[in-house]
Structure 1
């Protein structure tokens, strides 16, 4: 029961916040707490694709 009260207090406090910097920090904490490395790794690009993108980007700098 104590956990439920603590959660409610935190929810009420967050709902009343207007400070964008503080809300950003809270969002970072949430993202870190829910981050799943295995799932994110599956979304990543291959080494070869990264290499090709890097080469393309570097070559675009020489054209300027």
Structure 2
């Protein structure tokens, strides 16, 4: 998969647990897990914006394109 999700690394850097992020952005932990594992087919901009706001980061800190 050419898009890498670095959400675990950003969460660890911020000292935040997945369940706390899920609660803060109002999604289920199951949906957050799908996003974190790269199994999501799409990400809503509103969800990405909420993640960036809570984690005080940029979208590029979470998403990385790797030319395969």
Normalised to the residue count of structure 2, the TM-score between the two structures is 0.26
Higher RCO (CA-CA < 8 Å; seq separation 6+): 2
Q: Larger Rg: 1 or 2?
A: 1
Higher strand share: 2
